[in-house]
Amino acid sequence: MIARRVVVHGRVQGVGYRDAAVQAAYAIGVAGWVRNVRDGTVEAHAQGDPQAVERFVEWCRRGPPLARVSGVDVSDAHPEASLRDFSWRATT
């Protein structure tokens, strides 16, 4: 199992990015969470099979149709043992 922290820049709030990320994560088969950040970015944590996590990261580079992703920062993260599914978290 691997985990990645993803920070997505651009027009990514108010365009359904979080809902679409949850749907994509379920379809791909990763656990984790997604949330808006007050600076206008979207942050996600994804963990699971390495290939599935990388597929989710690639999805984040595109996002949903109304999003305009201008950049994605990806870093290694520690898997969170309590995560079993993918959900929203409160804005930080």
55 is catalytic: no
What is the CB-side half-sphere exposure of residue 11 using CA atoms within 13 A? 7
Three-state secondary structure call for residue 68 = strand
Q: Which of 36, 38, 62, 68 is catalytic?
A: 36
- Among 66, 67, 18, 61, smallest CA distance to 42 is for 18
84 is catalytic: no
Q: Which of 4, 5, 18, 68 is catalytic?
A: 18
Q: How far apart are CA 36 and CA 52, in angstroms?
A: 23
Active site residues: 18, 36
